[in-house]
Structure 1
Amino acid sequence: MKNINILPSNVANKIAAGEVVERPASIVKELVENSIDGQSSVIEVFIENGGKDKIEVVDNGVGIKSEDVHLAFKRHATSKIENEKDLESIISLGFRGEALPSIAAVSKVEVLTKTSDDELGVRYKIDGGIDEHLNSAPANKGTRFVVQDLFFNTPARKKFLKTTATELGYITDLMGRFVLCNPDISFKLYHNNRRLIASTGNGSLKQAISDVLGTSAAENALKVDNQSSKIDIQGYVVKPSITKSNRSGQFIFINNRIVRSKLLSKALEDGYKTLLPQNRYPLAVLKINLPPEGIDVNVHPSKQEVKFDNERIVYQSLKAAVDSSLLEKPLVTEYKYTNVSKNLQKEKTNPETSKQPSNKELNTFTSKPKNVNNTEKQLSYLEKLTQDLQIHEEAPKEAPTSKPMKEDTPSQKSDQLISRSSLPQKAEAKQQEIINPFFTTLQILGQFSETYVICKDSDNLYLIDQHAAQEKIFYEKAINQLGNQVAIQGIIPESIKLNGAQIQIVDENADTLKKLGFDLEIMDGNNILVRGLPFFVNKSISIQLLIDSLEDIFLDDELNSLKKFKEAILALISCKGAIKANHKLSHKEMTSLLEQLSLISNPYSCPHGRPTVVSLDKKSIEKMFKRVK
């Protein structure tokens, strides 16, 4: 065994930096928190190449005293605490005295700072933990940090950095959290000289929610105000009609500190229990204030993990606050319909779709029916069955009358992305090669629960999931064009406002989006002009929702090939745009659905692997009725 040695300070600092500086966003977090602790009212962040090349943070805070600048880069040097007792009541964001020496150990740093008492500022340079020089320089009150060439002296760390878009995504998310946590501070974020975030700093949390999560979230935000002697919870929860596929819309702050806590997420989501569909997550911005002695933030150098003295009280208080806000006003979902023939007509509420489907689905295949011996119960059972099962007579052989099919199709979701009219019509279907003739032999009996098309042949009953089936039709039709430019349908140009991360995604993936059928142009002020959409996308969609849906896919590092990338996008759009459950179909629409299934190569499962059709053979039915053993 080798002798035990004390590591040189430069080596020790590089090792310690691994705990504090994980990626560019880690540096932004530490520097911005220093600016907040320094009583800044305006904080500007300038990023180049996702922060891998340059990070610059400028504030108008109190600045650093000239005699303290050099000391600030010494390990465990801090102005936030003085003794062990201070650890029990930490109110500042920083306190460990590790951030600046850790950053300086793995990058090239320049700081320019000035206090109101000094005539001149101080400029200090340090490269890789080695002092360069310190001198006086003209400066405005406040501090400017410039961090360049991150991990230039630790190539093993540098190679693990992600793409520019991914690293920028972390920074943008972080800055959004700062905006929400500190609505009284004006934040600006620039990437490669393009402004991505600009908050007003007017103190309005509702305005901050609009800036970060969008106007729809702000308009549907419900105020939370729960105060007690032990805990104070303020903020907003968003109505359950607006959700996300992940927890990226959850912002919970403890004593003005950005934290991540499974306990807090669980309390929030339990407050929404029974109000959200499976695998959907609520949006919320909540600020929790606790006595400093009741929370331990000294768990990890990142200071994002926290421990509570009394987890039960924190959990129960947060859940109760969410419950109270959600129950204060009726959470009636607005049902809207889209007029396909008028792309820009505003959505109107359709009162006929306001009836929710029953939570108790009728199981007509139960092997042990409950007591239905008396006539009244049998009639009630049959009445319920006929309400839920639409029986259709055979379609007329002649051409239909001049009465057109309604174009104003009611929809319980505003995210119908894919146009039903984009499917092959009957005449078109006949001209295409039938790959699976099985579907052309089925006789349509009706629709169950406005979700499943019921069919039969000579020996079997079939249930076809209308959503999964149409999802697969759209997907296969689009996937067949993967090698080519997806056809673009022109629309009336529409301007959409995006957030900074979305603008960056559109900019960096412009060619891919073009190949996928999106005709987009980036305008000033984080706006894009939409001139065209893929052929299979409904012209009357919420384009904002479409971009929101694409965001997670573009940031998925596991999609490492263009083909996988396109397939993931097409699967997502197909799923969101297909006919929804609880959607009534005419006999003509059901017939068209079966014809289209016959034209695709694998109509038996959706892109996510769920079955599109299930069967029940005659023998199984006879066993249910005890006709055979």
Structure 2
Amino acid sequence: MSDIIHLLPDSVANQIAAGEVIQRPASVVKELVENAIDAGATEIQIFIKDAGRTLIQVVDNGKGMSETDARLSFERHATSKISSAQDLYSLRTMGFRGEALASIAAIAQVELRTRRAEDEIGTSILISGSKVESQEYVSCPAGANFMIKNIFFNVPARRKFLKSNQVEFGFIMSEFERMALVNTDIAFKLVHNDVELYNLPASNLRQRIVSLFGKNLNQHLLSVDVQTSLVSITGYIGHPDSARKRNAWQYFFVNGRYMRHPYFYKAVISNYEQLLPAGEMPHYFLHIQVDPSTIDVNIHPTKTEIKFENEQPIWQILSAAVRETLGKSNAVPTIDFDTEGAPEIPILHHGQQVEPPRVSYSPDYNPFASSSAKPSNHSHRVDYDWTQLYKDFQSNKDMPMTPEEESGEIKIPSKINCQTSVENMTKVSSEAIPLSIPIQETSRLIDTGIEHLQIKGRYILTSVKSGLMIIDQHRAHVRILFDRYMSHIQDKKGVSQRLLFPEMIQLSPAQGAELLSVQEDFEALGFDISDMGGGAYAVNAVPAGIDGLDVSTLIDKMLETATQRGGDVSVDVHEVISLALAESAAIPYGQILSPLEMEKLISDLFSLTAPNYTPDGKTVVSVIGDDELQKRFR
């Protein structure tokens, strides 16, 4: 029997390794930019086509490579970062394994042009599927120029499972933001499909945050700066007013490397627990510097997880730093130390005798002796004489009945204002309410106008054959508006309301790219938005019927929802946009409705094909059956 164990060819081994290192186009961008950073580049340009499927090009002005280094860089475990295992505990570079370029070359068509500053001529290498096609001299600028074409061209299964261009480019944007935030001394440029999205000059962290995420965030940034012998923590956290329910910008960087760390995340979030409504998350951009020998970054293929030797004390320092910053910003409620009403403490001089305290009392005082004691201000329980109450009730039965009571008629106002909430309804004496209502008279109640009742500005109660129906007014309106907006998008017949003066809004490049991808849906809803350049946009028209809404906040929310939920290929972008607008324009909780408004809302709701739930699955209508009502009064 022949031997069955054999060595895999390098090309196959590289493809297997690529499965861990190169998961999607964003992984290629990350690895190439990290190499440029390690090469000492001060300017990095990234060109993307079709979300990285067709082309990923990274150009830098770093050290460049010699002819030999350029060829050797595509071999597995070929690196300039370390030379022994001991170097793993003193890493100051982004890369160190020497697997990235070999993995990229195994699943794509790669062209490299590179030159060192001291060389007169550079080197060009073409590699396809780990096979070197050519290597020749070429004239090129100092630095490196990597062009990655047709990613996963030889691994159809991997290419098939790439998501939509919108989703894949979202991952690229996330990697770009992380690297731009941690390397503020490097100028970055990002171009997608020949459209320049970012052109970031070298700057400080605050300016870089504002350039990436918009000017509106600037006023909400709170500076963090803590220096200890164990750790240095600098950066910014967001004021509680800037918190978001989804898509909060949360970044940890350790020694210049992006990191996910649930334990440190709790150190930050725990200080916001009493300051934010449930479900809202704060922003933070925190840089942590520690001794490289006290951490291990070689525990995950993507290097986004780090083990700390001094995890517990760093947690405490981080938590204290966030708490102190929030306190200085007046975001945390302060204690009032006003001395008004405090007891007066006498000042004693040297040699002065201290008079012992005395308690005066009357030996003749007996609190139980007098029945005319002064009433107490303290609350007390009232002990009813139930026997007397019963006698009074019996005596009332012997009183002569009024003509109305003899006839069994009940006088009810001809018109009742249902606009008044239940809490504010006039209290009626219990003596005016009969103990029972004759069955033959119950129909008169329906004719009085009490068909719908609003509770707490939130729910609408109405009677149905099977019992009592409760409707959530906000969710009901969301359901109605969602179906209306979906119809507008499908028919492209949204009604616009022109603004007297265009409203100017400022969007980040990422938001601008998102707006471009969903612009047709916005126009179908009734929006008219013009790009004025430099991140400025003019809103010329909005959908009819959304008066009173802040246009800038509305568009921000719609784009945020589209970015967050549009990332799921199973979710229709039309639905995402329609739902975001419906949630913003729907009747808010607390708004008092007139009887006609309640009638219109209920009528519109039950004219829909699916009135019971909101588009995202929340309950709109709940019915308490007659059986359940009877159980409550047994």
1:592 to 591, 597, 602: 597
Output the CA distance in 1 between the equivalents of 2:13 and 2:297. 24
SS at match of 1:566: helix
- Note the residue ranges of structure 2 that are not aligned, 5 or more in a row: 334-377, 383-419, 428-445
- Structure 2 equivalent of residue 550 of structure 1: 559
1:530 to 522, 539, 548: 539
Corresponding letter in the other structure for 1:510: Q
- Structure 1 equivalent of residue 391 of structure 2: none
Matches within 5 A, 1:592-611: 592-601=597-606, 605-611=613-619
- Structure 1 equivalent of residue 437 of structure 2: none
C-alpha offsets along residues 420-447 of structure 1, whole Å, 9 cap, x if unaligned? xxxxxxxxxxxxxxxxxx9996456665
Contact 2:112–2:146 at 8 Å: present in 1 too? yes
Contact 2:164–2:569 at 8 Å: present in 1 too? no
Contact 1:172–1:500 at 8 Å: present in 2 too? no
Superposition deviation, residue 544 in structure 1: 5.1
* 1:605–1:302 distance in 2 versus 1, CA, 3 Å: closer
* 1:317–1:6 distance in 2 versus 1, CA, 3 Å: same
* 1:229–1:620 distance in 2 versus 1, CA, 3 Å: same
Output the CA distance in 2 between the equivalents of 1:201 and 1:260. 25
- Structure 2 equivalent of residue 572 of structure 1: 580
C-alpha offsets along residues 483-509 of structure 1, whole Å, 9 cap, x if unaligned? 422423233333433333333333333
Output the CA distance in 2 between the equivalents of 1:326 and 1:542. 30
- Structure 2 equivalent of residue 301 of structure 1: 301
* 1:567–1:608 distance in 2 versus 1, CA, 3 Å: same
Superposition deviation, residue 459 in structure 1: 12
* 1:545–1:587 distance in 2 versus 1, CA, 3 Å: closer
Contact 1:472–1:605 at 8 Å: present in 2 too? yes
Matches within 5 A, 1:67-86: 67-86=68-87
Contact 1:488–1:532 at 8 Å: present in 2 too? no
Contact 2:114–2:144 at 8 Å: present in 1 too? yes
Matches within 5 A, 1:14-163: 14-163=15-164
SS at match of 1:29: helix
- Structure 2 equivalent of residue 500 of structure 1: 509
Output the CA distance in 2 between the equivalents of 1:8 and 1:372. 89
SS at match of 1:236: strand
- Structure 2 equivalent of residue 256 of structure 1: 256
Output the CA distance in 2 between the equivalents of 1:326 and 1:149. 48
Output the CA distance in 1 between the equivalents of 2:612 and 2:153. 53
Matches within 5 A, 1:611-622: 611-612=619-620
Superposition deviation, residue 482 in structure 1: 5.6
* 1:480–1:65 distance in 2 versus 1, CA, 3 Å: closer
Contact 2:511–2:559 at 8 Å: present in 1 too? no
* 1:173–1:616 distance in 2 versus 1, CA, 3 Å: same
* 1:390–1:142 distance in 2 versus 1, CA, 3 Å: same
* 1:131–1:248 distance in 2 versus 1, CA, 3 Å: farther
Corresponding letter in the other structure for 1:565: V
- Structure 1 equivalent of residue 477 of structure 2: 470
Contact 1:271–1:323 at 8 Å: present in 2 too? yes
* 1:613–1:574 distance in 2 versus 1, CA, 3 Å: same
Output the CA distance in 2 between the equivalents of 1:144 and 1:12. 26
Corresponding letter in the other structure for 2:513: Q
TM-score, with normalisation over the residues of structure 2?
A: 0.75
C-alpha offsets along residues 564-620 of structure 1, whole Å, 9 cap, x if unaligned? 433333223222333444x4x3464x7524432232226554444444466779998
- Structure 1 equivalent of residue 189 of structure 2: 188
2:494 to 464, 487, 490: 487
Q: Does 1:512 align with 2:497?
A: no
SS at match of 1:595: helix
Larger radius of gyration: 2
Contact 1:392–1:587 at 8 Å: present in 2 too? no
- Structure 1 equivalent of residue 239 of structure 2: 239
Q: Percent identity?
A: 34
SS at match of 1:105: helix
Corresponding letter in the other structure for 1:241: D
Contact 1:226–1:232 at 8 Å: present in 2 too? yes
* 1:579–1:393 distance in 2 versus 1, CA, 3 Å: farther
Superposition deviation, residue 457 in structure 1: 10
Output the CA distance in 2 between the equivalents of 1:439 and 1:102. 78
Superposition deviation, residue 210 in structure 1: 0.9
Output the CA distance in 1 between the equivalents of 2:141 and 2:283. 39
Output the CA distance in 2 between the equivalents of 1:210 and 1:100. 33
Structure 1 stretch displaced more, 230-239 or 496-505: 496-505
- Structure 1 equivalent of residue 417 of structure 2: none
1:391 to 424, 429, 433: 424
Superposition deviation, residue 297 in structure 1: 0.8
- Note the residue ranges of structure 1 that are not aligned, 5 or more in a row: 334-370, 376-386, 395-437
SS at match of 2:5: coil
* 1:51–1:616 distance in 2 versus 1, CA, 3 Å: closer
Output the CA distance in 2 between the equivalents of 1:237 and 1:373. 51
Q: Does 1:541 align with 2:550?
A: yes
* 1:477–1:225 distance in 2 versus 1, CA, 3 Å: same
Superposition deviation, residue 94 in structure 1: 0.5
Corresponding letter in the other structure for 1:597: I
C-alpha offsets along residues 171-195 of structure 1, whole Å, 9 cap, x if unaligned? 1121112221112211110011111
Contact 2:506–2:535 at 8 Å: present in 1 too? yes
SS at match of 1:598: helix
Output the CA distance in 1 between the equivalents of 2:172 and 2:451. 56
Contact 2:561–2:576 at 8 Å: present in 1 too? no
SS at match of 1:134: strand
- Structure 1 equivalent of residue 314 of structure 2: 314
* 1:559–1:31 distance in 2 versus 1, CA, 3 Å: closer
Aligned residues: 528
C-alpha offsets along residues 501-560 of structure 1, whole Å, 9 cap, x if unaligned? 333333333333333333334443344443333334346423354244334435635454
Root-mean-square deviation (CA, aligned residues, Å) is 3.4
Output the CA distance in 2 between the equivalents of 1:305 and 1:247. 21
Output the CA distance in 2 between the equivalents of 1:440 and 1:294. 78
Output the CA distance in 2 between the equivalents of 1:518 and 1:440. 44
